[in-house]
Amino acid sequence: MESFTFQHDVQTYCVTATSFPEGIQAAHEQLHALLPQNDRRNYYGVSWQAEDGSIIYKAAADIMETDGPELSNLETFTIKNGPYNSFFIANYAENLDGIKRAFDLLLEQHEVDPNGYCLEWYMDRDVKCMVPLGKEYRPFTGLNKE
């Protein structure tokens, strides 16, 4: 497990999956079809548990200054700045169970924000699985010497 910090909020466009986990791939395919390809655009998956116990999943991608007004009707989501715990999974397509296992471990940590979400950051064939840490979390900065 590693620490990661988003220095700024990340604004994204997103497409909500019709079901979880069955609708995940279709949501990503729909998002990729709507957004112009750009080497600088990051792609994400965001999920959380709804009040009824179901999982809400959104395929998401960075909003870019070059995006046209035709995209303004898309749903948006803000990835909050701050500290996250993370696991990196290489070649995730060959290890889809690894994503579930990573989130199972991440969500067991006491410092996780109980009102947070699960975040997948897709990087070509790899993925970084992350969960935001709670407001009470204070990173260890070393022992105070008196």
SS (H, E, C) 88-138: EECCHHHCHHHHHHHHHHHHCCCCECCCCCEEEEEECCEEEEEEEECCCCC
Report residue 116 as tokens: 């947070």
What is the reported pLDDT for 22? 95
The answer to the question of residue 86 being in a domain is: yes
CB-CB contact of 14 with 59 (8 Å): yes
pLDDT of residue 66: 85
In-domain check, residue 26: yes
Whether 143 is in a domain gets the answer no
CATH code where residue 31 lies:
3.20.80.10
How many CB atoms neighbour CB 113 within 10 A? Answer: 17
Cis peptide preceding 21, ω within 30 of 0: yes
Q: Is residue 22 part of a domain?
A: yes
pLDDT at 145: 46
Residue 110 domain flag: yes
Would 60 be classed as within a structural domain? yes
Range of the domain at 40: 2-132
Q: What string of pLDDT tens digits covers the 146 residues of the chain? A: 899 999 999 999 999 999 999 999 999 999 999 987 778 999 999 999 999 999 999 999 999 988 888 888 899 999 999 999 999 999 999 988 999 999 999 999 989 998 999 999 999 899 999 999 987 655 554 554 44
Per the domain annotation, does 92 fall within a domain? yes
How far apart (Å, rounded) are the C-alpha atoms in residues 19 and 107?
Answer: 21
140 in a domain, yes or no? no
Total domains in the fold of the chain: 1
